[in-house]
Homo-oligomer: A and B are copies of this chain.
Amino acid sequence: MGLKVYADRMSQPSRAIIIFCKMNQIDFEEVRIDISKGQHRTPEFEKINPMKQVPAIIDGRFKLFESHAILRYLACSFPSVSDHWYPNDLTSRAKIDSILDWHHANLRRGAMTYVFNSALAPALGFSLNAQAAEEGKKLLSSSLLKIKSFWLKGNSRFLLGNAQPSIADLSLVCELMQLEVVDSEERQRVLEPHQEIRDWMENVKRATHPHFLEVHGILYKVKARLESRRNRVSPKL
């Protein structure tokens, strides 16, 4: 019994796992868990992941959740994975671990809070919250500044000046892609001051083509739906 990946492609960390597997020719079965339909709260899925979150994997009889733990496990377990994703060299690996750890309370918290409270909440049965969105946006912006200043110094193609992407690049850029569902002008205002961030996102997209585009397909569909709903409410003057 091969690798099963339980995912919702609307979930940023789910997308990172799927793209990683496809890029590295890891055979897997994608099992869709639709968050908007509450499928993560079924007793069946709770047996897979008691935290009731995606992504989660089963490899043989081994179950695992938390996307960074999954990425590390896949990188170390499958011989087809190229070294640049999660290098064997201890100091290179530690630097990537550092970014992955920092991510939780910084970029992820900021971006998720902002996107959820300004755009996505209604799709999940919650209401928007402008104040929470604003706090998220502050943390998002300061996180983007830090990424720029520390990890993308001097025309880096990828984080840490690496010539090829690591699991940190993939995880963080998938997070940033969630901004696609926010109002387009708002999104532009957030990213406009950050040329290095935009270049870096393009580099990751290109390096993981065509899987990146294909896996993000659902996000563009949701974006279109939300935009049309916003236009109906307040048509552009």
The 8 Å CB contact of A101, one of B94, B104, B109, is: B104
* Chain B residues in 8 Å Cβ range of A51: 102, 146, 150
Looking at the complex, which of A15-23, A58-66, A154-162 is the stretch in contact with chain B? A58-66
The 8 Å CB contact of A94, one of B72, B95, B104, is: B72
CB of A80 to closest CB in B, whole Å: 16
**A91 an interface residue at 8 Å Cβ cutoff?**
yes
Q: A51-B146, A146-B51 are in contact. Are A98 and B76 (CB under 8 A)?
A: no
Q: How large is the interface on A (under 10, 10 to 19, 20 to 34, 35 or more residues)?
A: 20 to 34
Interface-central residue, A76, A91, A146, by most chain B CB under 10 Å: A91
**A163 an interface residue at 8 Å Cβ cutoff?**
no
A61-102 Cβ-contact flags toward B at 8 Å (1 or 0): 010111111101100110000000000001101110110111
Q: Is the interface of A mostly helix, strand, loop or mixed?
A: helix
Q: Closest residue of chain B to A59, judged by CB?
A: B91
* Chain B residues in 8 Å Cβ range of A68: 97, 101
CB of A175 to closest CB in B, whole Å: 13
CB of A181 to closest CB in B, whole Å: 21
Q: A90-B73, A105-B104, A109-B105 are in contact. Are A98 and B50 (CB under 8 A)?
A: no
Q: Closest residue of chain B to A102, judged by CB?
A: B66
CB of A171 to closest CB in B, whole Å: 11
* Chain B residues in 8 Å Cβ range of A94: 62, 64, 69-70, 72-73
The answer to whether B105 and A90 have CB atoms under 8 Å apart is no
The 8 Å CB contact of A69, one of B73, B76, B98, B108, is: B98
The 8 Å CB contact of A64, one of B69, B95, B150, is: B95
**A149 an interface residue at 8 Å Cβ cutoff?**
yes
